[in-house]
Structure 1
């Protein structure tokens, strides 16, 4: 008995699909798109919050996140510290200007926190539960692929839920900076504490790029020291004169708009090219000690004594024949 025709066709179709090469669009995405080089330069961010404040219209958390994105474009973020005064507080939000409660999942803003909580519970919590049910009901490879495709949405929801349950409603900047991944240190003299920490970082030699978020020109010796040690320097707060001593500088508006992040790869490439050329540079160094030709002179130095000498000690004008003629 032969198998039914429909089953045979199905079997042939399955075997043909197995032998077929992968689709062309998959090959093009892997072969034509060049691999972007991820910078591995250790970067340290030191922020004087009293001397360089981001725009007040943007929450401090968003400013710190965009600052980290710009710093990560120059290399691997190794250290991020913000120095602030104990009395520093965030400005109170003005409800008449714009909504202040932001949904971290969809980006909508709400004037009241209760409205944000209701929105999050009725929409995003239900969507999150449906995603988890889809993953739980799947099996095998399909479950792995589905979990990988939904991982970004799941992590985004979890982060937003932690922020809401933590009750981040205080006006302390330390809480906002902590949520953004910035370590905050309280100091009565933030600029002095920043300078002390920068000296420690430069002496350790653990970073190759130093990002200073400050507007005080008193930190210019610190940038000169970084240049002597071969450490690249980036200044955020280009409105001040401190940017003159740095390798590159950006304003807060450029950091917020993403221009600093866009310009970072080309700037890092120029730095690498300069380092390579500096190592390969051939320098011609002339010898300071040149061989001087010294003529030894006897007597008055006119050279007559050298010509006067002969093998028998007679003057050069007296020939041998002269002596024989005199005897005769």
Structure 2
């Protein structure tokens, strides 16, 4: 699966949720061997409008909670230590002052350790560091972007960052797809993009007998016209693509069976396959000559088998 983040970023949906839904739909077509996403540096640092609005609303709610205008129905619980707070701002301050500092100390210890001591420290702090990351994802606001790269990595994607030059991500994505086809590592390619520049690579994949699936918002885009199957983002998130994928795979299997059953008559090939190449290939003239010679010899030797070997002019007196 190849994701063009420059052309099709998950702006309207949380990145992790979109990646998991996309992964589930891809698994309906078969085993997913690799998931790749490419984007330039600007895409990872950019904050979508939806995320900016959510942060603005959260900031306004914090101000109203501090003034006592509104109160949260349920207390805010720290997912690391379990402490409860009545305002979100107190939870954030607690998390930064205690847990963020503890996490930074663990990282420093691991960084300066060497050899077996480093291995022991990684094993010792692995559970605590994982717990901190899961809690910080909901409490702390990412300093750069909105956590797009980290969320995709958490979903199992390999994320590649390219320069901010135009079409840099498209070139890297296209080269990666060609490398996969050259090594014959996949039987089906899933492309998440609406960029018509990938039409050529999809045609190349079909010439190599690979199945192609496109995920994009364009209902009648150039990529969907070339690909074997196409889905929209809405179908991916609602789960419709996962259901329709079963019928698409069934049609592919039927087409493969029909191609195997196609038969054209070739006399030379049929003779070799049936082993009848030399069955009736013999020398008619030689056989005729042999039969003629035997007939001549039998006619010249003597008469019937019951006749004696004596000459034909002997009389009855001589026989007595």
TM-score of Structure 1 vs Structure 2, range by shorter chain: 0.5 to 0.7
Partner Cα separation in structure 1 for residue 37 and residue 224 of structure 2: 19
Residues 163-220 of structure 1: CA deviation (Å, up to 9, x unaligned): 2256774223111111111110001311111101000011111100100011111111
Q: Is 1:94–2:49 an aligned residue pair?
A: no
Q: Which secondary structure does the structure 2 equivalent of 1:79 belong to? A: coil
**Closer/same/farther in 2, CA of residues 116 and 278 from structure 1, 3 Å limit:** farther
Q: Is 1:255–2:236 an aligned residue pair?
A: yes
Matches within 5 A, 1:35-114: 45-54=1-10, 56-88=11-43, 89-91=46-48, 92-95=51-54
**Closer/same/farther in 2, CA of residues 203 and 96 from structure 1, 3 Å limit:** closer
Residues 12-51 of structure 1: CA deviation (Å, up to 9, x unaligned): xxxxxxxxxxxxxxxxxxxxxxxxxxxxxxxxx0001011
- 5+ unaligned residues in a row in structure 2: which ranges? 60-71, 85-129, 269-320
Query: What TM-score does the superposition give when structure 1 sets the normalisation length?
Result: 0.53
Aligned residues: 196
Partner Cα separation in structure 1 for residue 77 and residue 212 of structure 2: 41
Match among 250, 253, 263 for residue 269 of structure 1: 250
Match of 2:151 in 1: 176
Q: Is 1:244–2:237 an aligned residue pair?
A: no
Partner Cα separation in structure 2 for residue 177 and residue 247 of structure 1: 26
What's the CA shift for 1:284?
A: 4.0
Partner Cα separation in structure 2 for residue 280 and residue 160 of structure 1: 57
Specify which structure has the higher proportion of helix.
2
What's the CA shift for 1:161?
A: 7.3
Query: What TM-score does the superposition give when structure 2 sets the normalisation length?
Result: 0.55
Residues 119-174 of structure 1: CA deviation (Å, up to 9, x unaligned): 99479xxxxxxxxxxxxxxxxxxxxxxxxxxxxxxxxxxx8875225677422311
Partner Cα separation in structure 2 for residue 98 and residue 69 of structure 1: 32
Note the aligned Cα RMSD (angstroms): 3.1
Q: Is 1:230–2:179 an aligned residue pair?
A: no
Partner Cα separation in structure 1 for residue 265 and residue 131 of structure 2: 62
* 8 Å Cα contact 1:90-1:172 kept in structure 2: no
- 5+ unaligned residues in a row in structure 1: which ranges? 1-44, 101-110, 124-158, 288-328
